[in-house]
Amino acid sequence: MVVGSSGPSQFQLTNAILGKEVFSTDVTSISASVKNKGELSGRPVGVVNGPNMYDKDITHVKRRMELRRSKCLCIPGPHAFLIAFDIEKISPNDMKTPWLLKKRFGANCLKHCMVLFAYEGNLDGASLENRVKKTEWYLRELIEKYGGRFHVFKKDWRDRSQDKELLRKIELMVASLGGGHFSCRTFQMAEDSVRKEEKRLRKQRAVEIERTWNEMEQQYMSEELCFQKDVYIANVRAEIQAKAELDNGWLRTSLARGLALVCAMEKTHKAVVSAIEDKQKKEEQRVQMLIKDIMKEIEQLKNHMNQHDPQVDQTDKLKQVVLVSEVPDHPTRFDRVANVLAKEAFSSGRCYWQVEVGNKIEWNLGIARQSINRKGKFTVCPANGFWTLSLKVGGQYVANTSPVTVVALEQQPRNVAVFLDYNEGRVSFYCAESGVHIYTFTDRFTDRLRPIFSPGHLHGGKNAAPLIITSGFCSI
């Protein structure tokens, strides 16, 4: 039985064993277990393949069904489990395969296992074995979990130079275990079910067999008759066995249970979906109420600003954020990104300001902790003290969460409004022209906060326009 963790390795191994292209080079997974027969260095062999252990495109019910089918295909049990890996792509999941094998085939199956590494290139066998045993510690650790048994094979099935050595290693492993095949309770169940199905199929074809024999007796005489009968019976037995291995009572029971489980899961799923939809409706209502409250607070703040703040001078340099080529270094200046913090800092209360972004193709703005790291490389996200909204080149708006949250907007805002409610832990963004809510961060603030602005890269002059702060109390 050939077992694969992920990818095409197990199918490349089957091609290499049988010396022919059973699976095409683009096959990386299969959905059903299959058996192929051929020769390895003159020795007749049967090779069983099933779905990869970490194949994500197969359901739990289907996986269980194919595990049973693979056992039926190799009754009374496999002489060897050949576990295939790509020597250049060993993953953490590959290191866990012994646990999965024991879970699926029983604790003693590892004694019948051998690791097969697929490789491409011209390295000789000695160099490859030295790499596995001495150079690459993770390869050594992997084979030790399988009793130190391994073999390296070429991905090109046309290369037959290693056939004798592979057969010798398999025969040596089987001989060390007494020369028998592996078996366990589930393999015995598989064999019993296949034999029972064979008996049923033979009974079903009894009339056909007897009629064919009578026809042969009229056509052939003596030794030729015996030969033709033997050939016919052998073919009938092979056909019946193949059918019984692929479809029997044990497999039908698994399928019936699987369908029952699917029905139960569908009912549960509907109940869960209904509960989620109800919860989502309540949450949407709560958010709508929250947005209405925030809009009222914003209107109150705007009225307060109009009554007490002088008319903002749009040409004031302290209200414009532009990208310049060179600036002297300073402890409070960002050294790797074009960010700038406002002079004003907030540690309580509510604040509202607007930023004219115009037709710029890239920008970033919002709120940041006063104590943020301004030197070196960092990720803009709430965990690092940033609550910002960005426009990316290409027209995509994102809230800089971790990972980022893509925001879909029907209309491109030319003016972005920012509302900070420090005590409630909210930072909200709106389209200032239409009042459409864009995104709201919720968090717990403990540090002083400052508005932050970034005009983005110049992009050959296409993004040279400044960000313009259109609120009187906020400046840089």
Q: Is the dihedral of CA 8, 10, 11, 17 positive or negative?
A: positive
pLDDT score, position 56: 81
pLDDT score, position 21: 92
Asked whether the predicted pLDDT for residue 315 surpasses 50, the reply is no
pLDDT score, position 343: 87
Q: pLDDT over 90 for what percent of the chain?
A: 37
Asked whether the predicted pLDDT for residue 425 surpasses 80, the reply is yes
Strand order across the beta sheet in which 386-392 lies? 340-341, 449-454, 363-369, 386-392, 396-399, 405-407
pLDDT score, position 122: 72
Instruction: Give the N- to C-terminal CA distance of the chain in Å, as an integer.
Output: 70
Arithmetic mean of pLDDT, 269-273: 72
C-alpha span between 367 and 382 (Å, rounded):
10
Q: Is 344 helix (H, G, I), strand (E, B) or coil?
A: coil
Asked whether the predicted pLDDT for residue 206 surpasses 70, the reply is yes
Tokens coding 418: 């920012």
Contacts of 109 (CB under 8 A, 6+ apart): 81, 101, 102, 182, 184
pLDDT score, position 300: 61
Task: Tell me the pLDDT band of 92, cut-offs 50, 70 and 90.
Answer: confident
121-135, 241-255, 332-346 — which is least confidently predicted? Answer: 121-135
C-alpha span between 474 and 377 (Å, rounded):
27
The pairing of beta strand 363-369 with beta strand 350-356: unpaired
The pairing of beta strand 467-469 with beta strand 320-321: antiparallel
Q: What's the pLDDT tens digit per position in 26-61?
A: 898 898 899 999 999 999 999 999 999 888 888 888
Arithmetic mean of pLDDT, 233-243: 90
Asked whether the predicted pLDDT for residue 81 surpasses 90, the reply is yes
C-alpha span between 427 and 107 (Å, rounded):
56
pLDDT score, position 314: 36
pLDDT score, position 306: 46
pLDDT score, position 299: 65
